Amino acid sequence: MRGYFRKTILNKDKGLQAYVIGLALGDGNLSNPNGKATRLRITCDKKYPFLITKICKALEKLFPENKVSIVDRDKGCVDISIYSNHFEKLLGWKAKNGSKFVQKVNVPNWIKENNNYKINCLRGLIETDGSIYNDRGYTMMIFTSVIPALAKDFYDMILSLEFNPHLYLIKRGKTAEYKYSQQDVYHIRLSKNVSKFLELVKPEKI
């Protein structure tokens, strides 16, 4: 339990912080199950074992005194978890204030003001909520989110790096079984100069 509940060391490497923030904004979730320390849980598909290892190492480097845990889930996923009371300030949202959608999370301004930090954050976002695929012989990249502010930040960051993404809003019906599935979803797709973009960002999913 060492390092779970006390204020522990946070690595001051801003590039590393930006990467982990990207991971958390994508497939991360904050909770406070014991009332003492905030837990970040990042969900990852088991078909990406190298990405799972990469996420664990990033969290261990960000919080060198804290323990990283991996828990198997149904449907071929794992949860990668770590506790720290730095998370709410670092990420900009609260464990007990509802979902990321409800809290309208977005990318911190200090990341959006620096190209290196943008690239690291984009890497984390793509590795969690992004997809790289081939369409009729052409490489494509797409990022998906139900959070309007996050989708706009992703779009704007790519645009600021001199690429030309396209943003699409997909309207969903209100008869879906789950509330999350009823939210409109944003797709940001990059179809030109994708190889150049991926060489710059270097996401693990390539």
- Two domains, one topology: 14-104 and 110-201: yes
Question: Can you give the pLDDT at residue 74?
Answer: 77
The predicted structure's pLDDT at residue 68 = 97
For β-strands 69-72 and 130-135, DSSP reports them as unpaired
Per CATH, the homologous superfamily of domain 14-104 is: Homing endonucleases (3.10.28.10)
Nearest alpha carbon to residue 22 among 47, 51, 65, 64: 51
Partners of 134 in beta bridges: 139
pLDDT score recorded for residue 176: 47
Q: Identify the segments of the chain with pLDDT beneath 50.
A: 1-4, 176-178
Q: Name the class of domain 110-201.
A: alpha beta
pTM of the model: 0.91
pLDDT at residue 24 in the model: 98
- Per-residue pLDDT reduced to its tens digit, 14-23: 999 999 999 9
Burial of 1 (0-12, 13-18, 19+ CB in 10 A): exposed
pLDDT digits (tens, 9 = 90+) for 1-60: 444 455 679 999 999 999 999 999 999 999 998 888 899 999 999 999 999 999 999 999
Phi and psi, residue 132, nearest 5°: -120, 125
> The sheet that has 130-135: what strands, in order across it?
130-135, 138-145, 185-190, 166-170
Q: What are the boundaries of each domain within the chain?
A: 14-104, 110-201
Q: Which residues of 170-200 are buried (b: 16+ CB within 10 A; e: fewer)?
A: eeeeeeeeeeeeebebbbbbbeeebeebbee
